[in-house]
């Protein structure tokens, strides 16, 4: 009687299956054919989320405006993204958390928003 090479169970001759050169019992054969059962879809999902920080369209507009200007005021970002001050605050908090944007003091007072890793012009 053949023996399953995975679970070592003895297999009745007519239930033996062969997969990639291995003799398997019916259960192990089905298992081997559906690898989706053993992989964790949630783990894959979170891993891919972290890998490519997905930005909302509004966040992309904010970043684009900052990139265009180097440093943008809240008013400029609100106008560019079409959002109000409250929403901007929310978006900036998210972007800061992703280390994409930070607030910096503006030359004439108030504050501007810059890219997180952008160094202020120290010599200027
Ligand atoms: Zn088996």
Residues in the chain: 124
pLDDT bracket for residue 119 (50, 70, 90): low
Q: What is the pLDDT of residues 42-57, one digit of tens each?
A: 555 554 454 456 789 9
Taking residue 81's Cβ as centre, other Cβ atoms within 10 Å add up to: 21
Comparing 22-26, 32-36, 39-43, 101-105, the range with the smallest average pLDDT is: 39-43
89-98: pLDDT as tens digits: 999 999 998 8
Verify that 75 and 106 share a domain, yes or no: yes
pLDDT band (50, 70, 90) for residue 100: very high
Number of domains the chain is built from: 2
Is 108 found in the same domain as 82?
yes
Q: What CATH number is attached to the domain comprising 100?
A: 1.10.10.10
C-alpha of residue 40 to centroid of ligand 1, in Å: 22
pLDDT of residue 117: 83
Ligand 1 mean position, distance from CA 22 (Å): 10
- Is the Cα dihedral 115, 102, 56, 63 positive or negative? negative
Closest CA to 23 of 42, 37, 9, 34: 9
């Amino acid at each position: 009687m053949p023996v399953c090479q995975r679970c070592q169970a003895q297999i009745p001759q007519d239930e033996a299956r062969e997969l990639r050169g291995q003799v398997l019992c019916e259960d192990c054969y089905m298992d081997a054919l559906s690898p989706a059962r053993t992989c964790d879809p949630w783990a894959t999902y979170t891993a891919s989320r972290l890998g490519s920080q997905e930005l909302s369209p509004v966040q992309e507009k904010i970043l684009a405006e900052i990139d265009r200007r180097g440093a943008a005021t809240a008013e400029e970002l609100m106008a560019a993204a079409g959002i109000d001050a409250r929403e901007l605050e929310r978006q900036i908090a998210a972007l800061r958390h992703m280390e994409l944007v930070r607030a910096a003091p503006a030359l004439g007072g108030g504050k501007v928003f810059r890219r997180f890793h952008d160094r202020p012009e120290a010599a200027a």
